[in-house]
Amino acid sequence: MRIGIDAMGGDHAPDAPVSGAVMAMKELPASVRLVLIGDRDQILTVLKSKGADSSQFDIVHTTEVIGMGEHPTKAYTQKPNSTISLGFNMLKEGTLDAFASSGNTGAMLVGCMFTIKTIEGVQRPCITSILPKFKGGFGIILDVGTNADCKPELLYQFAVLGSLYFKNVYKNDSPKVGLLNIGEEAEKGNLLSQAAHVLMSDSKVINFIGNVEGRDFFNEKADIIVCDGFTGNVVLKEAESIYYLIKKRGIKDDYFERFNYENYGGTPVLGVNANVIIGHGISNDIASKNMILLSKNVTEARLSEKIREAFKAPMGVPAGDTGGLR
């Protein structure tokens, strides 16, 4: 298995991604080869500072980088030798099994669209975030920002994509799907959630448990919470900001420590034709390590392939085929 890593991606590159790769190597089986994409000299300097054996890694040299603030499409097309562009080209050629970056999220999504493309039948790819559950374990919420405007069918697809992710990577056979809403009753909510509720209720391929509310993110009600990318992004940033304030108040608490993004590796892009993992832009070495471990798990689970197989079956409502679920 070959995992490509954007060595120049994120606020703390190349230190964080390269150090993270060194840390990850200690936990990965010998069958995994990490491919560091970026400035060779800078990569070697970090590897040396960490006392790592550079022969353990492949390095693909380039000096072109897409900055965090650059316009995604423009930068991607104008920088064909950027770390992100090279990563996607290698994914497409099949010389990588996964590609991970904490760099410009927009450019990562553009890379998906321009090279590996969306899986047939998937309307729009989406991204997820972790919800640490109060009683242990965690859930996910999706979409968290890729799709600000959604139609009911799209929310339904998020439910299917999230279920396939949870089932295959987190080994939960029948994850509970909740629809984010502002009341428990089916008829509550805005036009979008009301229509999505009907689609989800009629579906045989997801384990739909009904509406959940803003108070249910951290309880056991649902494993997967589905919402439009606007609401999901607000929810995620609110949780991050409260965690930040908890730290700022000097509060140390085991549960709230699980809000720390470092513990998780980011999110796969769900619904594209290869394993692509996006890390948090502020990723440090630990977060980068976890991004790489997540990449390995996603690849091992053949997630992208599993989603492709599931979507070959009619994903209409109600879908007759179980699409690998339940």
Nearer to its own copies, 179 or 298 (CB): 179
Residue 193 within binding range of its own copies, rule CB under 8 A: yes
CB of 275 to its own copies, least distance (A): 26
Q: What distance in Å separates the CA atoms of residue 216 and residue 177, rounded to the nearest whole number? A: 12
Residue 248 within binding range of its own copies, rule CB under 8 A: yes
Residue 278 within binding range of its own copies, rule CB under 8 A: no
Residue 280 near residue 261 (C-beta atoms within 8 A):
yes
Residue 294 within binding range of its own copies, rule CB under 8 A: no
DSSP labels, 95-149? S-SEEEESS-HHHHHHHIIIII-BPTT-SS-B-EEEEE-TTSSEEEEE-SSS-SS
Nearer to its own copies, 54 or 241 (CB): 241
Choices 50-58, 197-205, 207-215, 313-321 (CB under 8 A): range interacting with its own copies: 207-215
**Residue 175: what residue type?**
P
Residue 198 within binding range of its own copies, rule CB under 8 A: no
Which of 35, 161, 235, 278 forms a contact with its own copies (CB under 8 A)? 235
Residues 138-167, interacting with its own copies (CB under 8 A): 145, 148-149
Q: What distance in Å separates the CA atoms of residue 187 and residue 253, rounded to the nearest whole number? A: 39
Instruction: Identify the H or E element spanning 323.
Output: none
Residue 118 near residue 270 (C-beta atoms within 8 A):
no
Which of 255, 312, 314, 320 forms a contact with its own copies (CB under 8 A)? 255
Q: What distance in Å separates the CA atoms of residue 318 and residue 315, rounded to the nearest whole number? A: 8
Nearer to its own copies, 39 or 143 (CB): 143
Which of 23, 75, 239, 307 forms a contact with its own copies (CB under 8 A)? 239
Q: What distance in Å separates the CA atoms of residue 27 and residue 191, rounded to the nearest whole number? A: 47
Residue 233 within binding range of its own copies, rule CB under 8 A: yes
Residue 218 within binding range of its own copies, rule CB under 8 A: yes
- HSE-CB of 69 using CA atoms within 13 angstroms: 0
Residue 321 within binding range of its own copies, rule CB under 8 A: no
Residue 269 near residue 123 (C-beta atoms within 8 A):
no
Chain positions contacting its own copies, by CB under 8 A: 134, 145, 148-149, 180, 182, 189-191, 193, 213-219, 227-231, 233-242, 244-246, 248-249, 251, 253, 255-256
